[in-house]
Amino acid sequence: MKLLTVSVLIGSFAAIGCKTSQFRGKAEEAETAAEEAKVTTTTPKVTTSKEPANVPVTSTVIDTSSTDLQLNQSCEKPVQLLTSQVKLVFPESKKCAFNVEPNKGPVEAQLQAQKVSTQNLKLPEGSEICSMNLETPANAKVQYDDFLILTIDDFVIFSSNKDFIPKLDKINGFYKWDFLKVRESPVDFKALPFCVGAMERCTFPGTDTEGPILLKLNYSEIAGIAKGIQGKVQVPVDLIATGDNDDSDTKMDCFHTALDLTVTLNYIKKPK
């Protein structure tokens, strides 16, 4: 736009000069033509690629003139590994809606009710997810009662109780959450947690205790989930709290404190 403005101004001054003088010397005309040629010379257009709105906090642009290696890259052998970081905010959850479908009435030590909080995770366009980290802010404390389950596109990433997980259906080797399949299951409050990754990289507080959340999942651990969500624009991330029978102001089930969760995706992107 600056180049165009300068050209217009020079044209205007040339018109004024014609009114005040009937002729110009050849040397002056040659000089003017040379100057105009310099001014109106166009510079190469610079284009920038656009990521989907509100997807990454950080992102790296891919060069569209890609090599064969980039076109044939995989998560096992990435040529250009990119990163996208998204923050999900889950509000505090309070009390089960007992006797409201799909929930049943209160029963001691049984999985009778659930309450689901959902946030949408936007995915980088045309991506294949290679690894995924999920973590709460430093020093953040999360508390829940009775149990807490985290899912991505209904795939169970973590459950604070592993006893009822085998009752769920498996797709691509991963459990898909379906409350009707585990409803009214007896529960052991001392049961160990479940995680799709190695337990030493899955940090989660126990039932009714405060603690941080930190999950670091590599490609081999989430390959089936990555394939399941590939090509989607966004997927739901559900934080599910369950309950058996507590429904008072001092002791309530289906409860969890507010949770900010940062999801970091490492991915590859094959140019079109």
pLDDT of residue 79: 87
Q: Give the pLDDT confidence of 198-220 residue by residue, as tens digits.
A: 888 888 888 888 888 888 888 88
pLDDT of residue 91: 94
| One-character DSSP codes across 112-124 | -EEEEEEEEEE--
- Count CB neighbours of 221 within 10 A: 21
- Count CB neighbours of 215 within 10 A: 21
Q: Give the pLDDT confidence of 148-171 residue by residue, as tens digits.
A: 999 999 999 999 999 999 999 998
> Is the distance from CB of 227 to CB of 96 less than 8 angstroms?
no
- Percent residues over pLDDT 90 in the chain: 41
pLDDT of residue 89: 94
**Residue 227 predicted with pLDDT over 70:** yes
pLDDT of residue 249: 74
112 confidence band (pLDDT: 50, 70, 90)? very high
Q: Provide mean pLDDT across the span 242-265.
A: 88
Q: Report the alpha-carbon distance of residue 54 to residue 122 in Å, rounded.
A: 8
Cis status of the peptide bond prior to 169, with omega within 30 of 0: no
**Residue 63 predicted with pLDDT over 60:** no
Q: Give the pLDDT confidence of 35-51 residue by residue, as tens digits.
A: 444 433 333 433 333 43
The pLDDT mean for the chain works out to 78
Enter the pTM of the model.
0.72
Highest mean pLDDT among 4-13, 102-111, 199-208: 102-111
56 confidence band (pLDDT: 50, 70, 90)? very low
Strand segments (E) across 148-225: 148-152, 155-159, 169-171, 174-176, 194-195, 202-203, 214-217
- Count CB neighbours of 135 within 10 A: 17
pLDDT of residue 69: 66
pLDDT of residue 257: 93
Q: Provide mean pLDDT across the span 252-257.
A: 92
